[in-house]
Amino acid sequence: MEVISIKNNDLYLKEYIELCNKEWGRKRDNLDEYINLKIKEIKVTNKVIEVLGLINNNEMIGFISLFMEDDNERKDLSPWYATMYVKEKYRGNNYSKILNDSLIKKAKELGYEKIYLKSNLINYYEKFNAKYIETLNNGEKLFYIDLK
């Protein structure tokens, strides 16, 4: 099992976009067209800093991302810890900790001192040392993780 960058790997990136759309997106008339546009956007723009995939025997178990921005309300904050996801059949095996630790390591390597995240989950990200900042207008809790 290994954590790798999948930002430039079309096979894993396609699955990443499909799963993100399924988990957080909306029903789309032309999913293939959307996926192709998102792949180009991820590769060409700086909106997505990194996408890390947890891979076992060529299967993606889960993923996590680092975005430049992820909130319309707090555009003053960057970068954002985003899209942590572990496939349902693999949950309960501490894979989210592996992904979390890998993202924190990568963010430190890139020179960031803090990363931000938002979530509706209660008492989840605190186990990764996330500190509460405020509740956003949409009801999500805003946190930061100190990387120093």
The proportion of the chain whose per-residue pLDDT surpasses 90, expressed as a percent, equals 81
Q: How confident is the model at residue 10 (pLDDT cuts 50, 70, 90)?
A: confident
Residue pair 6/13 in contact by the 8 Å Cβ criterion:
yes
The tens digit of pLDDT for each residue in 83-135 reads: 999 999 999 999 999 999 999 999 999 999 999 999 998 888 998 899 999 99
- Give the pair of three-digit tokens for residue 140: 């999500």
- Give the pair of three-digit tokens for residue 144: 């930061």
Please count the structural domains in the chain: 1
- Give the pair of three-digit tokens for residue 43: 């590769």
Return the pLDDT at 12. Answer: 96
Give the separation between CA 93 and CA 62, rounded to whole angstroms.
Answer: 12
Give the range of the structural domain holding residue 140, as residue numbers without chain letter: 2-146
CATH number, domain containing residue 107: 3.40.630.30
Q: Is the pLDDT of residue 71 over 80?
A: no
Look up residue 133 and give its amino acid: I
The tens digit of pLDDT for each residue in 12-56 reads: 999 999 999 999 888 888 889 999 999 999 998 889 999 999 999
- Give the pair of three-digit tokens for residue 15: 């699955």
pTM as predicted? 0.91
